[in-house]
Structure 1
Amino acid sequence: MKPEEYAALDATGLAEVLAAGEISAEEVAELAIDAVTAVNGELNAVAAGPFERPLGHSPGGRFAGVPFVFKDLVCHAAGVPTKMGTRMLGEGIRPPADTHLMERFREAGLATVAVSTTPEFGFNANTEALAYGSTRNPWNIEHSAGGSSGGSGALVAAGAVPVAHANDGGGSIRIPAAYNGLVGLKPSRGRVPLGPDLGDALSGFAIEFAVTRSVRDAAALLDDVAGPFPGDRFIIAPPARPWAQEAGADPGRLRIAVHTESWAGTFVDPEVAAAAEATAAVLESAGHQVEHATPVFDWDEFMHANVVIWSAFLAESVAGVEAMTGLHAGPDNLETTSWACVQYGRRVTAVELGAANAVVNTVSREVGRFFTEYDVLLTPTTNTPAPKLGHLDANADLDAAGWTRRIFETCSFTPLLNATGTPGISLPVAMSDTGLPIGVQLAGPMCAEGLLLRVAAQLETALPWADRQPAIHVTSV
């Protein structure tokens, strides 16, 4: 198999070739390791690896032998160093065991060849942690790969691996999916396990999953990794049928709301808004009922709740690192905005955290009401295509509120779904005049992954993206 043949296959297609015996898992692993090495010189998307050989995995899983990377945050593998994007952890600590999600990735047959980069503790829509340096966008290396799953997004877009782990506390699956031209599904809260180290994360905002090149890969992988473990804090309704059967199924005639104005009142690039409107027109021509509508909530109150919740979580995370390492956090080992958020988070009282969660409850009730009137909400994923590197500088002189607002005012369409716990998916439906991908977001009510996958597959057929290829790609380096 030639590199261009390898890079042209999504995870499902590559699994089929492997299962048919057309190529061995060892040969595919060699291709992947070479590909990661080749593109990483330009992208700087690897936190650890590539390894000499993939981590152990099931030979009988659906994706047996399919190359994979996991993000250096939350999910971890036994004995593989993790440093969560922070200099506090130096060369990394070696966890004694897999997380439950890593167990599921191995059972699915995914062959892990590297660990991907993340911003410090994941709190940035850009991936330029001082612990690794800047991760660059394969479509234009002067631009951001997004965050916080920017390393995973860059490697999948560049053809190095067909699928990669990602997680999402404010848009961190969907933002890099949009910036890198990928599919980014954020499942419902409680759908994918966070344990055993966590019951929930970030007051329930954080969700685990992946970035993929195709809708069918997202659906099939969700079948393999979703579902509770004993002791999980939340257990939600299982799907009526496998999600793999949803990609390509008839979605029926749906009530679809479209909204292209920033809830923060900030700038939305006209090309991005136009892409969302054009996508709405495609759905209307397919027979859906489409109209302009939006949930109504107070953005300033919502942002203050995010400041409190994110800062408290960062303070908690840093306290855990201090306990593991014996180090004391400070401006010498944390980035400027991380330290500002940690200091603020240490001052948050139980009453303040309760008030923030009350705001989240109010917003969630409004969004829940909205989804009794509409089946799907269509928005841009991000306010603009990928910005230049340094646009979200984590070492800027900003306090916790200033930093949190700066992130979400530039990516104002994603954090709502983290607060509500509802699913959303970013699809790479268009390209900007400057050659950067544009993503649109489909959102639905709790447990509506199947519905979103049906609509996403409909758009994948109407607005195909599989043949697009960035400048930095395994076939060109």
Structure 2
Amino acid sequence: PFSGLPIPLKMLGQTKKGWLNTAGSRLFRDARSPFTNHFVQRLEAIGLIPIGQSTAPEFGFKNVSDATIYGDTRNPADLSRSAGGSSGGAAALVAAGIFPIAGASDGGGSIRIPASFNGLIGLKPTRGTMPVGPDGWRGWQGASISFGLTVSMRDTKTLFYTMRGTENAAPYQAPKTEWAHHEPSNRKLRIAFSTTSPVGSLVSKEAIHAVEEAVIFLTAQGHDVFEIKYPVNGDQLIRSYYQMNGAETAAMFENISTQLKRELTINDMELMTWGLYQYGQKLSASSYIHSLNTWDAAAVEMEKQFENFDLFLSPATAHPAPKIETDLQSDAIRAELATIEQRSKEEAATIIYQMFEKSLALSPYTQLANLTGQPAISLPTFTTKEDLPLGIQFMAAKGNEDLLFQIGYEFEHAQRFHLPKAYLER
């Protein structure tokens, strides 16, 4: 279906033999992949032609793309603003009209955040639906998954169904769903919504208004739309997410240190990465297990919630794209990170939470779907008075991508999408 169409690969987790494989890190500035991974093999099998690579923050830890070795990735809607992250380069390439589709991945919102900031469609599929390996099978314990960024529901749905299916060896296997018609279903849905930040942070009036506009539209379409209290403890969940980030970073650098035959230092990586590395080394095996159990409890709760409604609507991000010069940390936090190696586990946990606090306030809604394994999509239905894109997010139960496609088609067919200017001027 995509025969001959060029696609850029994300410079993180989408490897092609002989191509650079930096993961956005200066430590791997000259590294090249010895193989083409299964996700990219599948892209090629459906006719896509990898051409070039897109930028990402170091190891994908940020919701802005500002890796030291690449510099800032800017937003085509406003070059003074960030394209987001971690699939910021992919989003910028699509939003600029260079490619209609780009490889992307999402471990905490890294497809949906840049989709929101750039006026694109960003689907994070159900855990276990996409090809994985051989360069990693669990992807942040199932939180991370590769897919793409697009500008049409047709391409989103076709990409999903032609890419769907993972290896038998993969630890996560998604429930199977049948191909559905491209036309929207006539089924009327029960749609719950919330604009409350799950971590208690400030939500912009624009993000709330984006959801309110969507509620009016959906109600007019005949859907049963109602407000609910945010269904999980977001603060507890995000702390468990940071524990995973730390533990996975420590394990990754343990392997890298062995390969390089030397200890890694603060000079080998960016300060945020160093902080996660040191935090991860302080975590016990039991605390890591507890964090994963927290994810499972949230997944159980959300599946129970989806017995009462079909979709869960929220802002995709709480704010539009930040200015390039926005400091998402502070000098005080950077000073703490520089000495985190000497701190206790509890002190390190506090430093890590503070390190992410400002960036989390930009995008507190996306992480839930990663940790529960459920599918979610950001749709480009709103722009601010400054003409900045701001997406809305729908979540569904595992395997229910078709409901996300249905609702996306309804907005698209009603001409409710606000796509980048590169597509409106054609």
TM-score when scaled to structure 1? Answer: 0.82
2:13 counterpart (49, 56, 74): 74
1:107 counterpart (31, 45, 51): 45
**1:27-68: CA deviation from partner (whole Å, max 9, x where unpaired):** xxxxxxxxxxxxxxxxxxxxxxxxxxxxxxxxxxx1111121
For 1:435 and 1:80, the matched residues in 2 are separated by 37
1:120 corresponds to: 58
1:446 counterpart (387, 398, 409): 398
2:267 corresponds to: 332
> Equivalences for 1:275-314 in 2 at 5 Å?
275-314=210-249
Query: What is the CA distance between 1:348 and its match in structure 2?
Result: 1.1
1:38 corresponds to: none
For 2:179 and 2:7, the matched residues in 1 are separated by 26
> Equivalences for 1:193-272 in 2 at 5 Å?
193-241=131-179, 245=181, 247-272=182-207
Give RMSD over aligned pairs: 1.9
> Equivalences for 1:10-409 in 2 at 5 Å?
62-91=1-30, 93-241=31-179, 245=181, 247-326=182-261, 328-391=263-326, 393=328, 397=334, 398=337, 399-409=351-361
Aligned-partner SS, 1:374? coil
Q: Provide closer, same or farther for how the CA distance between residues 313 and 407 of structure 1 changes in structure 2, counting only shifts above 3 A.
A: farther
Aligned-partner SS, 1:429? coil
Q: Which range moved further: 328-337 or 442-451?
A: 328-337
Query: What is the CA distance between 1:394 and its match in structure 2?
Result: 7.0
Query: What is the CA distance between 1:463 and its match in structure 2?
Result: 3.7
Gapped regions of structure 1 (runs ≥ 5): 1-61
Aligned-partner SS, 2:256? helix
2:342 corresponds to: none
Query: What is the CA distance between 1:230 and its match in structure 2?
Result: 3.1
Q: Which range moved further: 319-328 or 252-261?
A: 319-328
1:34 corresponds to: none
For 2:22 and 2:425, the matched residues in 1 are separated by 31
Runs of 4+ in structure 1 off by over 6 angstroms are 473-476
Query: What is the CA distance between 1:74 and its match in structure 2?
Result: 1.0
Aligned residues of 2:132 and 2:166 also touching (Cα < 8 A): no
For 2:278 and 2:210, the matched residues in 1 are separated by 40
For 1:225 and 1:392, the matched residues in 2 are separated by 38
For 2:128 and 2:242, the matched residues in 1 are separated by 23
Query: What is the CA distance between 1:251 and its match in structure 2?
Result: 4.7
For 2:39 and 2:327, the matched residues in 1 are separated by 30
Query: What is the CA distance between 1:131 and its match in structure 2?
Result: 1.6
Aligned-partner SS, 1:437? coil
For 2:377 and 2:327, the matched residues in 1 are separated by 23
Query: What is the CA distance between 1:422 and its match in structure 2?
Result: 0.2
AA of the residue aligned to 2:93 = L
Aligned residues of 2:96 and 2:420 also touching (Cα < 8 A): no
For 1:361 and 1:234, the matched residues in 2 are separated by 14
Aligned-partner SS, 1:373? coil
AA of the residue aligned to 1:362 = A
Aligned residues of 1:257 and 1:294 also touching (Cα < 8 A): no
For 2:329 and 2:41, the matched residues in 1 are separated by 33
1:7 corresponds to: none
**1:62-115: CA deviation from partner (whole Å, max 9, x where unpaired):** 111112101011111111111001111122x22221111000011111122210
Query: What is the CA distance between 1:132 and its match in structure 2?
Result: 0.8
Q: Provide closer, same or farther for how the CA distance between residues 96 and 68 of structure 1 changes in structure 2, counting only shifts above 3 A.
A: same
TM-score when scaled to structure 2? Answer: 0.92
Gapped regions of structure 2 (runs ≥ 5): 338-350
For 2:70 and 2:419, the matched residues in 1 are separated by 31
Query: What is the CA distance between 1:467 and its match in structure 2?
Result: 5.9
For 2:329 and 2:156, the matched residues in 1 are separated by 31
Aligned residues of 2:191 and 2:312 also touching (Cα < 8 A): yes
1:50 corresponds to: none
Q: Percent identity?
A: 32
Aligned residues of 1:88 and 1:327 also touching (Cα < 8 A): no
Q: Provide closer, same or farther for how the CA distance between residues 251 and 130 of structure 1 changes in structure 2, counting only shifts above 3 A.
A: farther
**1:342-382: CA deviation from partner (whole Å, max 9, x where unpaired):** 00001111111011112212222221111111100111100
Query: What is the CA distance between 1:299 and its match in structure 2?
Result: 2.6
AA of the residue aligned to 2:105 = N
Q: Provide closer, same or farther for how the CA distance between residues 385 and 450 of structure 1 changes in structure 2, counting only shifts above 3 A.
A: same
For 2:312 and 2:415, the matched residues in 1 are separated by 18
Query: What is the CA distance between 1:392 and its match in structure 2?
Result: 5.5
Aligned residues of 2:151 and 2:419 also touching (Cα < 8 A): no
Aligned residues of 2:17 and 2:34 also touching (Cα < 8 A): yes
* Count of paired positions: 409
**1:207-252: CA deviation from partner (whole Å, max 9, x where unpaired):** 110000111101001112110223111222222225xx3x423150
For 2:221 and 2:301, the matched residues in 1 are separated by 28
Query: What is the CA distance between 1:307 and its match in structure 2?
Result: 1.6
For 1:447 and 1:390, the matched residues in 2 are separated by 40
Q: Which range moved further: 227-236 or 139-148?
A: 227-236
